[in-house]
Amino acid sequence: MRLVVTGGRGFIGSHFVELALKNGDTIIDYDCVTYCANQNLPFDNNPNYKHIKQDICEVKHLPSCDYVVNFAAETHVDNSINDTVPFIKSNILGVHNLLEIIRGKSEHERPVFFHISTDEVYGDTAGSSFKENDRLMPSNPYSASKASAEMLVFSYHRTYGIDYIITRSSNNYGPRQYYEKLIPKSLDCINNGKKIPLHGDGSYVRDWIYVTDNVKAIYSLIKSKVKNSTFNIGADNHMTNLDVAIDLLSSFGKTKEEGIQFVPNRWGQDVRYSLDTTKIKLTTGWEPEYKKGINKWWN
């Protein structure tokens, strides 16, 4: 397959590119290389990979391809609370630009637009797990920008006939993740003798999925040739932020008292995320490999 990837030098995108290249696909990667992008990647010299350093808001042309897989996004919630503008620009206007380019192609040349979204578009839930047709109720500017992008995708399908797939994945973790996220930040704190900062009392629950499980799920949808549908991707691996921190500390022989500092809550804090992943499992047979605890890839 010939794939156009956006954000392929970022955390999740780079793992997807690596997987697709191993499967013999050709990748053209549009990535403007922001602060959290990877400067050096193991596939940089692969003849089937080409990187074009360009912001998705500024792309004027997309080459012929089977899929445009859009990972490019601003993703850090705290940053979105402090400054919303980059999130509106990348996550909404960037998606709009890509859709407009696809719309301008003749119908037989249009690729499927595969949009990578987040479980945060649903907001939080006390005890149930969100299904794909549940209402979107984002809690912060980041998740609102991702929900807005989804609405654009749905409308371009309805109005212009553009084919799409949307995935909403739970909290990813693993190699190459920028240190502002909880797990790499915690590891950085442990390695530098600092305490891990946790919002509130650390009781907020997330479903943690290892990044390679997520990209395998994404790739399974491409291979299945399903179109015009939305899929949740999660590992049913629910842990509080406090549990994650304690698990990481114990890996280094440290205690909760030694290594955790509670800090004021984030504005608009979501209490619990949870996804029902029945749909993707029935559609492609995908199952996560890592289903319990944190996969300690750094050991």
Residue tagged active-site, from 25, 29, 74, 120: 120
Specify whether 142 is catalytic: yes
Cα separation of 174 and 100, whole Å? 33
- For residues 297 and 177, the answer to whether their CB atoms sit within 8 Å is no
119 part of the active site: yes
Q: Which of 49, 122, 142, 210 is catalytic?
A: 142
Reported in sequence order, the residue ranges of 41-98 that DSSP labels E, i.e. its strands, are: 49-52, 67-70
Q: What is the DSSP string of the chain?
A: -EEEEESTTSHHHHHHHHHHHHTT-EEEEE----TTS-S--TTTT-TTEEEE---TTT-----S-SEEEE------HHHHHH--HHHIIIIIIHHHHHHHHHHTS-GGGPPEEEEEEEGGGG---SS--B-TTSPP---SHHHHHHHHHHHHHHHHHHHH---EEEEEE-EEESTT--TTSHHHHHHHHHHTT-PEEEETTS--EEEEEEHHHHHHHHHHHHHHT--SEEEEE----EEEHHHHHHHHHHHTT--HHHHEEEEPPPTT---B--B--HHHHHHH----S--SS---TT-
Catalytic-role residue among 18, 74, 119, 213: 119
Under a CB-based contact definition with an 8 Å cutoff, are residues 78 and 112 in contact?
no
Collapsing DSSP to helix, strand or coil, 50 comes out as strand
Catalytic residues: 119-120, 142
